[in-house]
Amino acid sequence: MIACTDPAEPEPDPAAAAQVGKAEPLPSTLPAPSESVPRYVGLWATTSEGCAEPAWRFEERRISKRGEVSCAFQNVVMTDRGYDIQATCTAESPPQPHNIQLSFAESARAMMVAGGPWQSGVALVYCAALPTP
């Protein structure tokens, strides 16, 4: 067999590798899966800068987005990609039924929200746990 290396590719420099040190895993900014609390519960924002005053509040049975949308969950089903939620939402109109899908993009450290009043979808970053009452 012929080796599949590029003769122009230089060999790694062991001294440089020693200076870099061991690779460390990146910290996860998503909440860990839990059997007692749904993963989506917490304060979320569209950017990490938005975490100074997170606009999205996800509770176990509802979502509220400051000044815009409020949804009460009637049914939450855990799926292999996240959650499917049947909800009644108020968004500058009388309450309407909606289906909302939540999924988690580990590599992007984001929760994707699709359906409901957000038909085009939105990606959110995790900011913090809900404040304790």
* pTM listed for this prediction: 0.75
In a domain, 12, yes or no: no
Range of the domain at 83: 31-128
Asked whether the predicted pLDDT for residue 75 surpasses 90, the reply is: yes
Residue 85 inside a domain? The answer is yes
Give the mean pLDDT of the chain: 83
Say if 21 falls within a structural domain: no
Q: How much of the chain, in percent, has pLDDT values that exceed 70?
A: 79
Query: Partners of 71 in the beta sheet?
Result: 63, 89
Question: Total domain count for the chain?
Answer: 1
Backbone φ and ψ of 94, nearest 5°: -60, 155
Residue 40 inside a domain? The answer is yes
Q: Is residue 119 part of a domain?
A: yes
**pLDDT for position 30:** 80
* pLDDT at residue 64 tops 60: yes
SS3 of 34, please? Answer: coil
The rounded distance, in Å, linking the Cα atoms of 31 and 33 is 7
- Chain length of the chain: 133
Q: Is there a contact between 73 and 86 (Cβ–Cβ < 8 Å)?
A: yes
Task: Look at residue 53 and tell me if it is in a domain.
Answer: yes
